[in-house]
A and B are shown apart, each in its own frame.
Chain A
Amino acid sequence: MICAADCKKVPLLEFQNLDYPVAERDFFQQLNFSITVGGLIGLMGSNGAGKTTLLKLAAGLLQPKRGRVLLGNKDISSYSGRKRAQYLAYLPQLLDMNAPFRVAELVSMGSYFSQGQQHFSITEAIEIVGLSGKADAFLSDLSGGERRRAYIAMTLLQGGKLLLLDEPLANLDLKYQLELLRLLKQICRDKQISVIISFHDIALASRMDRLMMLKNGKLVADGKPEKLMNNDIIREVFGLADEDIPSLFSGFIKVC
């Protein structure tokens, strides 16, 4: 286990002076932030703001040009694949929704390298995401939301302390979006896991424990949603006109 007694003190994930180029110019410049244990963190920004790139850097799929990504005080590149998988799980935005597996087969892949440190059994993970009666169903026979939840159950089984989910709310209707967020918050609370999700919808921002707002590769705001949800920041992050702001705020969903 990466963090034991000093869980709250040692950051799970830390970006240190990170530079990363896109199209031969530095997109991320001197990016610094850290994530500690527990909590649902929302990564917000318009299209092209750098959300996916940031998650891929955090997962070790992309290597920074300068600076470091630390997982539990160690450079992510120093981890073997197995060790990294025990620490964090990354779920890309585009998933193979027609993979030829049954739900239980798919979910069980999360335990390949978890070496008994799982938070859940396969049955529990399937139950938690609300697919109890569908363990033996083929993925292709489920709805879009159910398929995504099956993948999330797989990442839960990895037993890591950090989940990186790229646009997990995409293509889900409002009911499923809220259900999934409720589920992720509960897992964060019960299992002391940190979950970072990227998303667009500012109506859901208030459900996060922490918001990180990106614009063109810059972290323009980072903190509690209630402090960041104001006209100036929203206008800045999404590049909106003044007249658009009031209608947006009237659509907010309050945290339960």
Chain B
Amino acid sequence: MNAKKQHTALRAGLLVFGSSLIILLCLISGQQLLNPFTLDQETLNTLLALRLPRVIVAFLMGGALGASGAVLQGIFRSPLADPYILGISSGAALLVASGLLFGINLFSLTIPALSFAGAVATGGLVVLLGRGWHGLQPERLLLAGIGVGFFLSATLMLLMTIASNDGLKQAFLWMSGDLSMVDFGAVPFGLFFILIGLALAFYHHKGLNALTLGDEVAYSLGFNPVSERLWLFMAASLMTAAAVSMGGVVGFIGLVVPHIVRRHIGSDAKTVLPLSVVSGGTLLCLADTLGRTVAAPLELPSGVVAAFIGAPYFIFLLQRKQNR
């Protein structure tokens, strides 16, 4: 077993090392490739003022979504659960789109503040609707999330169909995860909530493992499944709300990243949570870099590119598992 632990540690180390290299590449890549060994003042300014903040935002968003997906898949015992299936993103998108379409102005905090408020309010509503006679039940919570999500999405579509002002394109780009619209002033705000969510999830990582086995087994192991699920759901909601508030709706990362980490490293939440942060963050950095370089000067939304990278790999993993 020790050999296996070493093997797992080696794989985890390789993943972190590979991710660091990719992030460095993301920093120097763009419409203009920067040479890190011959940094003049102008290059340094570009690196620090433009590239670094964007890489930081992409990493934080991707990391938060990856960890959030790992938590939700565990507490719902569903490999298809992701931060957006619970309607959290739809709530954030509806409030932001409404704000942009109706010209609500909270200065630089318009998008982050509205999306955070929308995400948290939707998360709260889903929890209220997901409570049955025996507390917070996974099936009920999942169905409440899907129902609320569909309703909010439909409302959003209705709003966008009847609206015709300048905020429409901005709202649409934001919903596609376009990081060119990121306001870096929102980063400390987002980072704060991501760290709280992550700390909460990590504190409950044993409960997360136990819930993956079902409520009765979790109970037998000494946990209270209802309160564990509530704490972990709050952690995932906070991380998703923070990610959405920083850069819009980026799908797929929360779904695919935890699967990739589990397949290569193992399923213990103590390992899956931090490595989902690293992998999710790296995947979104890579997607954002590709999005702003492959069709430059046109920028492709990072959410779209992330899905183009992640989906084929996900299908490859699925096929390999089936063959095995």
Contact = CB atoms under 8 A, between A and B. Distances in A.
B33 to A, nearest CB: 40
Contacts, number: 76
A239 interface: no
Quick one: which of B212, B214, B221, B324 has the most chain A CB within 10 A?
Answer: B221
Contact of A61 (B210, B216, B266, B267): B216
Contacts of B209: 101, 105, 109
A155 B1 contact: no
B150 interface: no
A91 to B, nearest CB: 7
A90 B214 contact: no
Nearest to B77: A96
A73 to B, nearest CB: 20
Nearest to B324: A141
Interface in A61-117: 61, 81-82, 84-86, 88-92, 94-96, 99-102, 104-106, 109-110, 112-113
A173 interface: no
Q: Which range holds the interface residue count of chain B?
A: 20 to 34
A186 to B, nearest CB: 22
A180 interface: no
B51 to A, nearest CB: 37
B9 to A, nearest CB: 14
Nearest to B227: A81
A142 B167 CA distance: 55
Contact of B216 (A90, A101, A104): A90
A197 interface: no
Interface of A: 59, 61, 81-82, 84-86, 88-92, 94-96, 99-102, 104-106, 109-110, 112-113, 122-123, 135-136, 141, 151, 155, 158
12 contacts: A91-B217, A91-B220, A92-B217, A101-B266, A104-B4, A105-B209, A109-B213, A112-B206, A112-B222, A113-B221, A113-B222, A135-B4
User: Which 4 pairs, one residue from A and one from B, show the smallest C-beta to C-beta distance?
Assistant: A85-B222, A113-B222, A90-B220, A81-B222
